[in-house]
Amino acid sequence: MSFKWIWNQAYQVLNLNHLMSLFYLKRLQAIHNIEKIVYEMLRVGKEVIVTFPNFGYWRHRIQLIQGQMPVSKALPYEWYNTPNIHLCTIKDFDEFCIKNKVGIKERLVLTHGKPVHFMPNLMGELAMYRLVSK
């Protein structure tokens, strides 16, 4: 999934009009000190977009039940060569935002590039959040 594709999705679906106040963090799951980085990004900019693969996606869960770490378009690495250090679900990230007093202005959950509204933690492959300071 390319930066341009995600940016276009964010622009179209989230109706972003103030791009100069927006920061983008593409690989949340591969970042050390997520709390500190999100705080700093929100301190510098008015809004932040973060994206991450949803570890709770049903196809990922089936691979875990079968005894293997998930591999998919959103999680393309094997367990031994992955840059991912923080795998989370949509529910995990929602709770992270509540605990750390980060405002969720909008949330977009996608599977195969299409928005998911029904049971997003189970049916969504990729999550995109528009965050603001509370």
User: Which residue is listed with tokens 């998930």?
Assistant: 70
Tell me phi and psi for residue 47, to 5 degrees: -140, 155
Instruction: Please give the residue range of the domain that contains residue 86.
Output: 3-133
CB 132 within 8 A of CB 47: yes
> What average pLDDT does the chain have?
83
pTM of the model: 0.78
What three-state secondary structure class fits 100? coil
pLDDT (tens digit per residue) in 95-134: 999 999 999 999 999 999 899 999 999 999 999 998 998 8
Q: What is the CATH number for 71?
A: 3.40.50.150
Structurally, how many domains does the chain consist of?
1
pLDDT (tens digit per residue) in 17-74: 554 445 555 577 777 788 888 888 888 777 888 888 999 999 999 999 999 999 988 8
